[in-house]
Structure 1
Amino acid sequence: MSRLGAVQRKVPCLFVTQVKEEPSAKRERQPFKVLATETLTRKAIDADIYNAIPTEKVDGTCCYVTTYKGQPYLWARLDRKPNKQAEKRFKKFLYSLEDSKEFIWNIEEDFKHVPECWIPAKEIQHSNGNPLPDENGHIPGWVPVEKNSKQYCWHSSVVNYEAEVALVLKHHADDPGLLEISPVPLSNLLEQTLELIGTNINANPYGLGSKKHPVHLLVPHGAFEIKNPPVLKHNDILSWLDNSTEGKIEGIVWHCNDGTLIKLHRHHLGLHWPIAETHLNSQPVVVSVSGTKYDFEPKSLFHHFSKLDGQRFRRLKDITFDF
């Protein structure tokens, strides 16, 4: 049996948050909103937020690259969640939470089974060799994305294990105002986390591809640094997100010098997401596939992008394939 101290409702947010009893604009059927106050969290201050690097929070699903079967592999996020009985106990505990209490998990019996290849996320705490649940009662973790996986077909579309490459969206090395889509060696992405974005991810806020011809890409975390960030004050950030071109993003992630990540979502400031025109879609993009010496499968996303090699588009939405 593993012990988890008194659970706190933690939000990885720049500001201290408060709960308002009105329907959430982010989650359906959630009868409350989590909104930011004007007070910086102690976690942000302790991590030296004033000297952190602000980056765009990209709206996708989190992935991880690490070794599997002796080679670099893409891994999909899979949290180990409590079974119905344990979840009922945990929710009852949360609603009657007192500082003098602590919740006791039985790791062996309280959680649903996961595949044998599942691994826990690195940052989570352990007790007696067992990974401990977070404040939401979940154990974050990963499963490898196999070639032609049906369950993770959109993840699978952006990796080629024969060529050992992944389709990545990032800034062009020689032109920071230009985005670039190119195959990147998976070995260059080892032990990194990335966001998978595209047609079938989170309602496709960036307008990639179509239902008939879906397009998905990987974006390394921290890839899009914010060059002209707002002052770290509630009203300044709110105005920047609401009114500036660079602020047409889902949120901000500050990368602190000690490795701490501090986040702020538009919803924390009462702003809507997704929005009609995003900053990611206001930038030109070029396709660069010529350096890859491999014959990709004719129906693969890699093959379709290779036909666009060298072509430049006004925005991501404009990328189309001739089938």
Structure 2
Amino acid sequence: MRRLGSVQQKIACVFLTEVKEEESRKRDYQPFQVVATETVNPIALEANIDCALATEKLDGTCCYVTLYKGQPYLWARLDRKPNKQAEKRFKKYQHMHRSCKGFSWNIEDFKTVPEPWIPAHKVKHQNGHPVPDEHGHIPGWVPVEKDNKQYCWHSSVVDYEVGTAVVLRPSADDKEVLEIVAAPLADLMEQTLELIGTNVNGNPYGLGSKKQPVHFLVSHGSVRIRNPPPVDFQQLCAWFQESPEGRVEGIVWHCDNGTLIKIHRHHLGLRWPDGETSLSEKPAVVHVDGTVDEYNNSKDLFASLSALNGQCFSRLQDVRFDL
């Protein structure tokens, strides 16, 4: 089976991009937007993207599973960013030179991060210190501790005592059906995943409710696109607007050499979300068969899903506990 890439760094767009001086469709108050040209990115061509595996780009927040305190742990994405003075200096340099190449950073230019913080894979180091990317950020991770209110929704999908996580994945029996499982964290080691749900990114998938929030972890690359369009600007635009399978935020291609390439609707000037999503419309089944004793004192999400064990739903967004 093909080894899927891990999302540790920014992913390149499948097309070369340009900056337009108009209000961003993706970020509020951003006075510019990055849009795709019709020229395929040389990085994608070098990675032989036509033979790559096309998967759904999910709209959530990136997570990582690796060891902490001697056991598999969920880690949240936390990029180390420059302080206000360094950010001001950086922007001034960019404006003067129309580029960020050649700008010099000092280690004291960056905000402090929690002590267990680790830099993401492939972050370059100089004199023993991590070097920021072209945007002035140092991608990294921080462990999700159960009492940290900042990461309460991350915490809701893991049970460290039992050693499991709530995972949404295609069923082994039918890839068009999603299954919700309590997967061993040990089985997710060194994977990156997307946390999606009620309180993440405006909940484009319509999961849960305010009274009974629902969140899942989805391994990157696990939701395949069955009939992906060719890597062609016009055909991709048409697919996103006309195909039922195109009701996704974007595509991430996993290339044979490990390179990840992406496209999302904002690159093409298309809205997201735009009506019902492909993921939320898929049928789902709950396979959380923990014993009553195992989850009796556990998180609400585990206990609620355990009570629904074996139930099938015609749509993922119909999985609710407050009916």
**Partner Cα separation in structure 2 for residue 292 and residue 73 of structure 1:** 22
Q: Compare 156-165 and 121-130 and name the one that shifted more.
A: 121-130
Verify: 1:106 aligned to 2:106, yes or no: yes
Aligned-partner residue type, residue 138 of structure 2: I
Residue 304 of structure 1: aligned partner: 304
Runs of 4 or more consecutive aligned structure 1 residues displaced over 6 Å after TM superposition: none
Aligned-partner residue type, residue 149 of structure 1: N
Matches within 5 A, 1:158-237: 158-237=157-236
Q: 1:259 to 1:292 in 2, by over 3 A?
A: farther
- Secondary structure of the corresponding residue to residue 104 of structure 2: strand
Residue 3 of structure 2: aligned partner: none
Residue 60 of structure 1: aligned partner: 60
**Partner Cα separation in structure 2 for residue 99 and residue 273 of structure 1:** 30
**Partner Cα separation in structure 2 for residue 15 and residue 310 of structure 1:** 43
Aligned-partner residue type, residue 233 of structure 2: H
Aligned-partner residue type, residue 40 of structure 2: L
Cα offset for 1:123? Answer: 2.2
- Secondary structure of the corresponding residue to residue 153 of structure 2: helix
- Secondary structure of the corresponding residue to residue 79 of structure 1: coil
Per-residue CA distance 1:126-166 (angstroms, 9 max, x = gap): 11221110111010111100123211000000000011000
Cα offset for 1:300? Answer: 1.7
Verify: 1:154 aligned to 2:166, yes or no: no
Residue 74 of structure 2: aligned partner: 74
Verify: 1:86 aligned to 2:86, yes or no: yes
**Partner Cα separation in structure 1 for residue 231 and residue 292 of structure 2:** 46
Task: Judge conservation of contact 2:157–2:301 (CA < 8 Å) in 1.
Answer: yes
- TM-score of the aligned structures, taking structure 2 as reference length: 0.93
Task: Judge conservation of contact 2:75–2:142 (CA < 8 Å) in 1.
Answer: yes
- Secondary structure of the corresponding residue to residue 166 of structure 2: strand
- Secondary structure of the corresponding residue to residue 177 of structure 1: coil
**Partner Cα separation in structure 2 for residue 168 and residue 139 of structure 1:** 28
Cα offset for 1:293? Answer: 8.1
**Partner Cα separation in structure 1 for residue 100 and residue 294 of structure 2:** 63
Per-residue CA distance 1:242-266 (angstroms, 9 max, x = gap): 1101000000001111111101010
Residue 21 of structure 1: aligned partner: 21
**Partner Cα separation in structure 2 for residue 12 and residue 284 of structure 1:** 32
Task: Judge conservation of contact 2:282–2:315 (CA < 8 Å) in 1.
Answer: yes
Cα offset for 1:101? Answer: 5.9
Provide the aligned C-alpha RMSD in A: 1.7
- How many residues were matched structurally? 313
Cα offset for 1:124? Answer: 1.4
**Partner Cα separation in structure 1 for residue 306 and residue 264 of structure 2:** 35
- Secondary structure of the corresponding residue to residue 82 of structure 2: coil
Q: Which runs of 5+ in 1 are unaligned?
A: 1-9
Residue 97 of structure 2: aligned partner: 97
Cα offset for 1:13? Answer: 0.5
**Partner Cα separation in structure 1 for residue 320 and residue 258 of structure 2:** 38
Q: 1:299 to 1:44 in 2, by over 3 A?
A: closer
Aligned-partner residue type, residue 191 of structure 1: E
Per-residue CA distance 1:193-224 (angstroms, 9 max, x = gap): 00000000000000011111111100000011
